[in-house]
């Protein structure tokens, strides 16, 4: 090839990479404490149903917190062979099944497109802590030779994305994110970038978690981060309420299919909404506590809104991180006021964690799905258990009952241990 021709082709490719492509959402899949599958999940949210109950995975009688958002309607043998179910950790199983639903929702068979242009980006905050517990116990009782061969593949966080790739045949960018409670939002945001800049045409992205185990619950109890309202599990998660006393651990997965607009239109895909903005920052402050002014969280929202080409007053709904801890809810409220100023009091803000509990690394995935359906259906899920206003949390938290509203654009926030802040903006799709 003549040198000038090669240089011209290089410049054309470079220019194309500089032109950000539009990205749409064509499929969603959810495993959650309020129901497996988008239909059950969304119906529960709109009807204000809690998925919190007593812990059944282990004897929690000696723990300060004895409740969690466990998955109640998931049987691995409905989705995997006996051997697969034995060798795949629950957090990987949840990711795979949520992916199956998302692909079916998107009407996408990866083998009907170019698998080299399909990627997977699934985050998790902890991975399979349950496997670590079981195998350490096995070692203590029976020695090192009894540690199972699948121990390492079962615990590593990248295995969720790897297994989805193996099951679907996706051969594009396949990676993972581990930014604590921001993992799923960062995964979706990074996948958005991959498509925008031409690294992939389709990305399967989200988060998964199954850490409601002895050490998982015990560790958060030791941090004094969990609620002690064991007598009323369904009322224990109460974001922004004056009497909140800690979050409720939960498990599950939330996965989205993102596509370039051209790819989705070419195959006649159902378009649920458009993903338009992503921002991420660090507090650079503390390993568990958010920075007191909320400037890191505010900056993430500002960057996401700017990236979407919107103004703060264009946002119709905020799905808050809203964990039900004293400090987090106060700081996030401050951050929202910093970004939206007086308009902050006019924007509905709700925390679906009041119903699902906190899915840790998967939280942003299921909350992203809630934002997409809020746009689709014109309904905003409530913050349940909001009974006593907190003077330091004085916004419109959509208390206790879902609200009909025209939702043109929505922002979803995730704030993780280590100071990770991530925000994504989705909006109603228009040609």
Q: Output the 3-class SS for 130-181.
A: HHHHHHHHHHHHHCHHHCCCCHHHHHCCCHHHHHHHHHHCCCCCEECCCCHH
pLDDT of residue 431: 84
DSSP for residue 293: T
The reply to whether 321 belongs to the active site is yes
Question: How far is it, in rounded angstroms, from Cα 136 to Cα 299?
Answer: 42
- Out of 8-12, 92-96, 315-319, least confident range: 8-12
- CA torsion 166→168→173→175, rounded to 10°? -50
From the list 221, 358, 393, 420, the catalytic residue is 358
Angle at 386 between CA 385 and CA 390, to 5 degrees: 140
Residue 297: count of CB within 10 angstroms of its CB: 30
The reply to whether 57 belongs to the active site is no
Handedness of CA 87, 91, 97, 103 (dihedral sign): negative
Task: Let me know if 167 is exposed, middle or buried by CB neighbors in 10 A (0-12, 13-18, 19+).
Answer: middle
Q: Would you say residue 384 has pLDDT above 70?
A: yes
Are the CB atoms for 354 and 322 separated by under 8 Å? yes
The reply to whether 263 belongs to the active site is no
Q: Would you say residue 2 has pLDDT above 70?
A: no
Are the CB atoms for 171 and 116 separated by under 8 Å? yes
From the list 65, 99, 176, 181, the catalytic residue is 181
pLDDT of residue 9: 56
Q: Would you say residue 350 has pLDDT above 60?
A: yes
Are the CB atoms for 412 and 367 separated by under 8 Å? yes
Better pLDDT: 195 or 8: 195
Query: Do β-strands 403-404 and 409-416 pair in parallel, antiparallel, or remain unpaired?
Result: unpaired
- pLDDT class of 135 with cuts at 50, 70, 90: very high
Element (H, E) at 3: helix 3-18
Q: Would you say residue 46 has pLDDT above 90?
A: yes
Are the CB atoms for 325 and 246 separated by under 8 Å? yes
Residue 193: count of CB within 10 angstroms of its CB: 16
Better pLDDT: 16 or 77: 77
Average pLDDT of the chain is 95
Element (H, E) at 416: strand 409-416
Question: How far is it, in rounded angstroms, from Cα 21 to Cα 44?
Answer: 35
From the list 105, 263, 321, 420, the catalytic residue is 321
Are the CB atoms for 410 and 427 separated by under 8 Å? yes
Q: Where are the beta strands (DSSP E) in 283-408?
A: 317-319, 349-350, 379-380, 403-404
pLDDT in tens, 394-429: 999 999 999 999 999 999 999 999 999 999 999 999
- pLDDT class of 4 with cuts at 50, 70, 90: low
DSSP line for 22-54: PEEEEEEEEEETTEESHHHHHHHHHTT----EE
Question: How far is it, in rounded angstroms, from Cα 145 to Cα 148?
Answer: 8
pLDDT of residue 107: 97
Residue 325, CA distances (Å) to 94, 145, 225 in order: 26, 43, 7
Element (H, E) at 421: strand 420-427
Q: Would you say residue 19 has pLDDT above 80?
A: no
Are the CB atoms for 35 and 74 separated by under 8 Å? no
- Residues found in the chain: 431
At the fourth CATH level, which superfamily is domain 24-427? Answer: Thiolase/Chalcone synthase (3.40.47.10)
Q: Would you say residue 325 has pLDDT above 80?
A: yes
Residues whose CB is less than 8 angstroms from the CB of residue 380 and which lie 6 or more positions away in sequence, other chains included: 317, 348, 350, 374, 398, 402, 403, 404, 405, 407
Place of tokens 């195998």: 135
Residue 428, CA distances (Å) to 28, 162, 190, 295, 339 in order: 16, 32, 20, 28, 22
Q: Helix axis angle, 214-222 relative to 129-142, nearest 10°?
A: 110
pLDDT of residue 10: 56
Residue 228, CA distances (Å) to 317, 327, 363, 392 in order: 30, 16, 21, 22
- pLDDT class of 1 with cuts at 50, 70, 90: low
b (16+ CB within 10 A) / e for 124-134: bbbbbbbbbeb
pLDDT of residue 12: 58
pLDDT of residue 15: 56
């Amino acid at each position: 090839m003549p040198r000038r021709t090669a240089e011209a082709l290089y410049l054309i490719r470079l220019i194309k990479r500089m032109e950000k492509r539009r990205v749409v959402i064509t499929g969603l899949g959810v495993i959650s404490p309020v129901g497996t599958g988008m239909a059950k999940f969304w119906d529960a949210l709109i009807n204000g149903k809690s998925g919190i109950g007593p812990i059944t995975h282990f004897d929690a009688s000696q723990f300060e917190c004895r409740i969690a958002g466990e998955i109640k309607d998931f049987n691995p043998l409905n989705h995997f062979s006996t051997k697969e179910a034995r060798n795949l950790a629950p957090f990987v199983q949840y990711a795979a099944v949520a992916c199956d639903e998302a692909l079916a929702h998107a009407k996408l068979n990866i083998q009907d497109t170019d698998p080299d242009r399909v990627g997977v980006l699934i985050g998790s905050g902890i991975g399979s802590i349950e496997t670590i517990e079981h195998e350490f116990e096995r070692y203590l009782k029976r020695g090192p030779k009894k540690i199972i061969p699948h121990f390492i593949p079962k615990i590593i966080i990248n295995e969720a994305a790897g297994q989805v790739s193996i099951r679907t045949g996706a051969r594009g960018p396949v990676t993972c994110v581990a930014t604590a409670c921001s993992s799923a939002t960062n995964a979706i945001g990074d996948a958005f970038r991959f498509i925008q800049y031409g690294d992939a045409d389709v990305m399967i992205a989200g988060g998964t978690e199954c850490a409601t185990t002895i050490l998982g619950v015990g560790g958060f109890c030791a941090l004094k981060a969990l609620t002690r309202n064991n007598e009323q599990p369904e009322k224990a998660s109460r974001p922004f309420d004056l009497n909140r006393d800690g979050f409720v651990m939960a498990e599950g997965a939330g996965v989205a299919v993102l596509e370039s607009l051209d790819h989705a239109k070419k195959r006649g895909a159902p378009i649920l909404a458009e993903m338009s903005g992503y921002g991420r920052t660090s507090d650079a402050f503390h390993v568990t506590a958010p920075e007191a002014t909320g400037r890191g969280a505010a900056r993430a929202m500002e960057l996401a809104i700017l990236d979407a080409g919107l103004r703060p007053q264009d946002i119709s709904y905020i799905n808050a991180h809203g964990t039900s801890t004293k400090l987090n809810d106060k700081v996030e409220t401050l951050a929202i006021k910093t970004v939206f100023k007086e308009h902050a009091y006019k924007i509905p803000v709700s925390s679906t964690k009041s119903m699902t509990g906190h899915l840790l690394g998967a939280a942003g995935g299921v909350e992203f799905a809630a934002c997409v359906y809020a746009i689709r259906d014109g309904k905003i899920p409530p913050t349940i258990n909001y009974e006593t206003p907190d003077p330091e949390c004085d916004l419109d938290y959509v208390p206790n009952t879902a609200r009909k509203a025209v939702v043109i654009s929505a922002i979803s926030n995730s704030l993780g241990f280590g100071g990770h802040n991530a925000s994504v903006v989705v909006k109603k799709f228009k040609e």
